[in-house]
Amino acid sequence: MRRRQLIAAGISMPLLLAWPVRAPWAAPAAAAAPFDADTVPALARALAGQPYEPPSRTLPAALDAISYDQFRDYRFRPDQALWREDGVPFQAQLFHRGFIFKERVDLHLVDGDRATPLAYRRERFDFGPQTPPPDDPALGHAGFRLHAPLNHADYYDELCVFLGASYFRAVARGLAYGLSARGLALGSGDPGPEEFPLFRAFWLERPAPGATSMVVHALLDSPSVAGAYRFVVAPAGEETTMDVEARLFPRVELRNAGIAPLTSMFEFDAGDRAGVDDFRPAVHDSDGLAILNGAGEQVWRPLRNPPQVAHSGFVDDNPRGFGLMQRKRDFADFQDAEARYEQRPSAWVEPLGDWGAGEVHLVELPTGNEFADNIVAFWRPRAPLAAGREHRFAYRLHWCADHAWLPRLARAVATRSGQADADGPAPRQYVVDFAGGGLDALAPDAAPRVEAQASAGELRNPVAYRLANGRWRLSFELLPGQAEVVELRARLLAADGAALSETWLSRWPA
């Protein structure tokens, strides 16, 4: 585990929570209880009707003070994986509490219409040279991960992990962990402390033989809101999907709720590497925000590492999708034999049903290294989520190398910028490469029209030309003049005005 991955899982979450000591659904005895589709929503509704009570983080001394290196020796034994002997296509492995993962997360196994608490058993773990903790069934766990045959039919690869606050991640065939999703974001990038809701309990439904998906239920809680989540996890080779049903019960009015939040890292790339002294041409888990808005326009916004916190809102009505994508897929794009950023997944959020009015909100935080996530994207409803009511959101989360939502449109595959050879203050040249879609069908002697706009300053010399590798390059110069911020917009059109490419957006200065 790289240090940045550990940070993404928990170090950057100062408000990790734990389970109430006397919660009636957290009984230490392994007694089965009735379970159906309304069980977790009923718990969330009841929890929201009570004052929030910060739970204890108390651990035995052997766990409370261990270091990162010591915690790395705490490993789940694969031969103890849940359902390993049942011949089903999914297995579950558990995470031990300790180090930064102090909070107890209660796990339950659902078989039919009964749920049984999963007690802690020390024999499930290998502690290496470390002294094992007390074998206390009430110790609980920190989280879990699911395994399934992903790259080979006879091997159970790690598929997804739920660990730390409401964070979870997944991969598809040939990919490695990168960006994360969250159950809910509250105040990301806003002044003041961010609130991190926690998945404090999970219910894992036993998969049937031959099942192609697995169901996980989760109970979310924080000072401001409680929630019930249902995940249907389905690995399908080059794409892993999660159908998510979220039912939120705010304790207070939520004006800054982020629905279906994604969290990633962007340090630098060719379009934003001022002051970078690094042998690698790029370092990022994701290189752009993609949007398919309610009007059917496909948008690409390259990510940036700004000098200060930057917020961007893309107003929409019933969005058709958004995601943080990793479009660079060659080793040469990064030249990092350890991190292998070209193998990091993209994550695409597809709303199921109407989400109404709001905006896709992008937060970009400054970072000086690759070890902390600094990018957040989510849907923010225009109307606040009222207290004392239930609010439902359903969406399909696609974990994949790529996602073709409008394949007829060429995609922006590279963005570069640098000082322009022009008069005036801070002249800047932009170069955007497009590939695929309708551009591939252009006649050898044809060229697309350029549509390029700047919200301020002067945009000069927009032009498009074909490269030797078959891509098309759009280039222009920006003279910002006295403007403090300039929003940029460009795309390629056919002779009749039809779009040949997605819409490229950017902001000066980065």
422 and 387 in one domain? no
CATH number, domain with residue 475: 2.60.40.10
What pLDDT, on a 0 to 100 scale, did the predictor assign at position 27? Answer: 40
148 and 28 in one domain? yes
432 and 351 in one domain? no
Annotate 257-309 with DSSP letters as a single string: EEEEEEEE-EEEBTTB-TT---SSS-EES--EEEEE-TTS-EEEEE----SS-
Closest to 310 (Cα-Cα) out of 341, 326, 289: 289
Domain span at residue 135? 3-400
Dig out the tokens for 417 from the structure: 């910028």
Dig out the tokens for 107 from the structure: 């796990």
348 and 461 in one domain? no
Residue 405 in any domain: the answer is: no
**Residues in contact with 82: Cβ distance below 8 Å, sequence separation at least 6, in sequence order:** 91, 92, 93, 94, 109, 204
Residue 101 in any domain: the answer is: yes
d(CA 286, CA 268): 10
49 and 169 in one domain? yes
Diameter of the chain by CA atoms? 77
The Cβ of residue 60 has, within 10 Å, a number of other Cβ atoms equal to 12
Dig out the tokens for 52 from the structure: 């929030």
385 and 477 in one domain? no
d(CA 503, CA 102): 45
Whether 181 and 347 have beta carbons less than 8 Å apart is answered as: yes
What pLDDT, on a 0 to 100 scale, did the predictor assign at position 323? Answer: 98
472 and 361 in one domain? no
Whether 162 and 144 have beta carbons less than 8 Å apart is answered as: yes
219 and 195 in one domain? yes
CATH number, domain with residue 120: 2.70.98.10
205 and 345 in one domain? yes
Closest to 347 (Cα-Cα) out of 374, 375, 325, 377: 325
76 and 54 in one domain? yes
pTM attached to this predicted model: 0.93
Whether 159 and 177 have beta carbons less than 8 Å apart is answered as: no
Residue 476 in any domain: the answer is: yes
Q: How many domains does the chain have?
A: 2
Residue 201 in any domain: the answer is: yes
378 and 243 in one domain? yes
**Domain boundary at 377, 400, 423, which?**
400
What pLDDT, on a 0 to 100 scale, did the predictor assign at position 30? Answer: 62
Give the amino acid at 316: D
Whether 290 and 300 have beta carbons less than 8 Å apart is answered as: yes
Whether 442 and 296 have beta carbons less than 8 Å apart is answered as: no
Q: Any idea which residue has 């492995």 for tokens?
A: 93
**Domain boundary at 373, 400, 427, which?**
400
Dig out the tokens for 26 from the structure: 């957290």
**Domain boundary at 343, 365, 400, which?**
400
Closest to 160 (Cα-Cα) out of 265, 278, 240: 240
392 and 419 in one domain? no
Residue 69 in any domain: the answer is: yes
Q: Per-10-residue mean pLDDT for the chain, 510 residues long?
A: 39 30 41 96 97 80 88 96 93 95 94 96 95 91 97 95 97 98 96 94 96 98 98 96 98 97 97 93 98 97 96 98 98 98 98 97 97 97 98 98 92 94 88 95 93 97 95 97 95 96 94
d(CA 115, CA 25): 10
Whether 229 and 246 have beta carbons less than 8 Å apart is answered as: yes
Residue 484 in any domain: the answer is: yes
Secondary structure, 3-state, 24-88 = HHHCCCCCCEECCCCHHHHHHHHHHCCCCCCCCCCCCHHHHCCCHHHHHCCEECHHHCECHHHCC
Q: DSSP label at 98? A: B
What pLDDT, on a 0 to 100 scale, did the predictor assign at position 65? Answer: 86
d(CA 447, CA 464): 7
Residue 406 in any domain: the answer is: no
Residue 260 in any domain: the answer is: yes
Q: Any idea which residue has 């958004």 for tokens?
A: 322
Q: Report the run of H or E that residue 404 belongs to, with start and end.
A: none
Q: Is the preceding peptide bond at 34 cis, omega within 30 degrees of 0?
A: no
